[in-house]
Copies of this chain bind each other. A is one copy, B any other.
């Protein structure tokens, strides 16, 4: 993106794409899943157990996150390990936490 590009007009299409990502981040369970997988891949069962969510629910959420390319899954024998899709997603999440924590409530 060049320096002269501006952000103040968001096309209908761009806003829809961007909103879709935000919408997926707008659920506490999904956010916790993403942050739990932030640094290293985690298995579905591990996620469910550590975050105290049902295995079924975790699977459903992971499917949505996969569809938006926020995570990728890799099968290792019986288990499937999920990780953030790339560093952009990782940095984005870290940035968001910084921004949120900087707000005084």
- Contact surface of A with B, Cβ cutoff 8 Å: 1, 7-10, 12, 15-32, 35-36, 38-39, 69, 86, 88-89, 91-103, 105
Give this chain's copy count. Answer: 2
Asked if B7 and A97 make an inter-chain contact with CB atoms under 8 angstroms apart, the answer reads yes
Which residues of the other chain, B, contact A101 by a CB distance below 8 angstroms? 1
Tell me the dominant secondary structure on chain A's binding face. Answer: helix
Contact of A100 among B21, B38, B102 (CB under 8 A): B21
A32 touches B8 (CB 8 A): no
| Complex Cα–Cα for A8 and B40 (A) | 9
CB–CB A10/B22 < 8 A: no
Establish whether residues B26 and A10, one from each chain, have CB atoms under 8 Å apart when the complex forms: no
